[in-house]
Amino acid sequence: MKTVLVPLANGCEEIEAVTVIDILRRAGLEVTSAGLDTEPVHASRGTVLIPDTILDVALQRNYDMLVLPGGQPGTNNLKADPRILSLVKSMVQHERYVAAICAAPSVLATAGVLNGRRATSFPGALDEFPRVQQQPEAVVEDGKVITSRGPGTAMDFALMLVERLAGLPRRQEVEAGLQR
């Protein structure tokens, strides 16, 4: 079974976090949500999320994919955590998938993995990174790096992640069940 880590930081965008976790679990993927510390995560709109575990415990195993929800100040909290930046670099080095939505592609850019790559984000989130080839699409894939624009694209983003880890037929099954 393919495994996915979704780090949750205070101020994350709840639509992006919950949609990704839900859709990937519907596909039968093993998803671990991990808080940066032992406290519940207070998302950007006040929703309280209880992660499966803490990041230090989650980092004791390997994953097939890392997914970073956006939102503010969640994205800044991810960017400020050296464990996250190190994990992003390690995932890319080991040719595993990294994915980020909304403002979170800036975490990937901060880690240096978007240099020369095509990516999308919430408008303005990547403006300080001139080496990123910004794209207007809702979901952009460049090798094993997948980015998306924001809360409104969260379902398309999550379904693309399912397709990459579980295949097109599984994506179609999950999508049919959603009545899109």
Residues recognised as catalytic: 102
- Rounded to an integer, what distance in angstroms lies between the CA atom of residue 148 and that of residue 138? 5
CA 21 from centroid of its chain's CA atoms: 10
Is there a contact between 82 and 110 (Cβ–Cβ < 8 Å)? no
Q: What is the dihedral of CA 12, 81, 161, 144, to 10 degrees?
A: 150
**Tokens in use for 88?**
């992003």
- Rg of the chain over Cα atoms, rounded to whole angstroms, equals 15
139 phi and psi, to 5 degrees?
-135, 130
Q: Which amino acid belongs to residue 22?
A: D
Choose among 53, 34, 114, 44: nearest CA to 75: 44
Q: Which residues of 36-121 form beta strands (DSSP E)? A: 41-42, 48-49, 53-54, 65-68, 97-101, 118-119
